[in-house]
Amino acid sequence: MAMKLHGKNFIGSDLSAAGEKTFQAYDPRQGRSLEPAFHETTSAEVQRTMELASRAAPLFRALNAETVAGFLLTIREEILGLGDELIERADAETALGPDRLRSERDRTVNQIKLFAEIVSEGSWVDAIIDPALPDRKPLPRPDIRRMLEPIGPVAVFGASNFPLAFSVAGGDTISAFAARNPVVVKAHPAHPGTSELVATAIVRAAKEKAMPEGVFSMLHSLGTEGSIALATHPDTKAVAFTGSQRAGRALFDAGAARPEPIPVYAEMGSVNPVFVLPGVLKEGTQAISEGLYRSVLLGVGQFCTSPGLIFGVEDEAFRGLVQRLKQMFDEGVPGTMLNSSICKGFAERFKVAAAVAGVDSTVSVRSVDPQRTEARPGLLLTNAATWLKNTELHQEIFGPATVIVGCESDADLVECGRALEGSLTATIHGSPEELAGHRELVDVLGTKAGRLIFNGYPTGVEVGYAMHHGGPYPATTDAKFTSVGATAIYRFARPVCYQNFPEELLPPELRNANERNIWRTVNGRLTRDSL
């Protein structure tokens, strides 16, 4: 039996609709509003939510790894238990399609399983022990032990383009839970019904596993007031955000301006440059052109890893690649974007870039349906000199478009690489020999991106132990951290050092016996041995 949506805020296990302001979700494919009305949060609700989270923090911190892992796995089962109802509502709110959404749900629940395994294994706490050296001369060394511990309540802001994997139970929430922090989610207003369904699953899991009241809450806010209230509340200890540079920077600035500044981990989009070296094109352009086209248009270009810039040295092979891409974009099928605001923003950004002197544009000849939030694929063509002097061509165009830049030489490729802003990814296509011969370009791109890709495409981010999904500003606000993969947990923990503590008062991970059998660094050596 389908669950009837209520449109209320989740304050711990309670539902609240104190706010008079409401909004509705919108079906971009059908061009109509969706029931029910969702109540925007009030300042009093934010205050009550954060008080609950603050009280839950020490209780959640005290739970053992087995209990926390069990909580995560129960969330996983509750989400799976929502079945097709979750997929149908998400499709109505985003037009992403059932197949894409089922794949995203799989990624979401597999991600939860990964973090449950990380919690159970336990070595992520990075336990370091320097035992006492009482006879050391000229001064004895005290017993010093250090590990990572929870940072406190985390505010998570869902992304518009991933209603499951970067939303209520996405990587930010689950990695914060894994580090034993309460989480308050600010649901994205583009998919509030989807958010409510997943929030219900988390609340059910919290009740079933007897989690502290306030370990999870979810609030609705259409405007900026509720978001800033969350980021600036004194009980909020960290913020995780995925979205636009404008909104991410506003949260970052708010977090930094507090009497007690807090980290704001904002992922804010990326141009994801692709460099196509000459040799690989001489072997044929069809596979590369098709791969680039699919990557640019995947999800109607609404991926933070969509390739927004393509660089190559102007020769016959590169001109063939450009010609093939022009034909493909010319015949490209319009796609329904997530919402009217994103669609409008895409059209405006493309128009600005196309108006730059020295830029040619190709737009799909297919017509769009005015009843739908549709966008036509577009291609912008220019040369290195024009691109270098026009910074509006350096910026992300969020949607089904890319900019192709023709260079005169390998030196131009390097110069363009140096002019790039920070990015999540940078890609090079070529042979291994060409790659070795372009060491300077590789080194430059290593300073610009968090993930370097060889003979692949940036869309598609593996959720695993080695993945880094982050990059220098403006891709993110802190290039040292990732929002995808196992090491995302480190955003929500801080080191605590214990000096000369009685062993029975130490956390289990730091005791001599190594009760959890985790990897620890003892006297500079990685070991599982007891002391």
| pLDDT tens, residue by residue, 289-317 | 999 999 999 999 999 999 999 999 999 99
Rounded average pLDDT over 63-76 = 98
Residue 2 has pLDDT above 80, yes or no: no
Q: Where in the chain is the domain with CATH 3.40.605.10?
A: 9-16+42-268+482-490
* Second-level CATH architecture of 273-454: 3-Layer(aba) Sandwich (3.40)
What is the arithmetic mean of pLDDT over 369-392? 94
Give CATH 3.40.309.10 domain extents, the chain: 273-454
CA distance 310 to 293: 11
Q: What is the DSSP letter of 233?
A: -
Is the predicted pLDDT of residue 370 greater than 80, yes or no?
no
State percent of the chain over pLDDT 70.
100
Q: Is 0.85 surpassed by the pTM of this model?
A: yes
Q: Does domain 9-16+42-268+482-490 have CATH number 3.30.160.110?
A: no
CB neighbour class for 262 (10 Å; exposed up to 12, middle 13-18, buried from 19): buried
Edge-to-edge, what's the strand order for the sheet holding 273-276? 360-363, 378-383, 401-407, 309-313, 273-276, 423-429, 449-454
Cβ(354)–Cβ(326) below 8 Å: no
Residue found by looking up tokens 């960290």 in the block: 238
Mean pLDDT for the stretch of residues 222-247: 95
Residue with tokens 């807090």, as numbered in its chain: 262
The pLDDT, as a whole number, for residue 3 is 80
Contact present, 379 and 400 (Cβ < 8 Å):
no
Provide the annotated active-site residues. Answer: 267, 304
Residues 267-291: what's their mean pLDDT?
A: 92
Judged against a pLDDT cut of 90, whether residue 369 lies above it is answered with: no
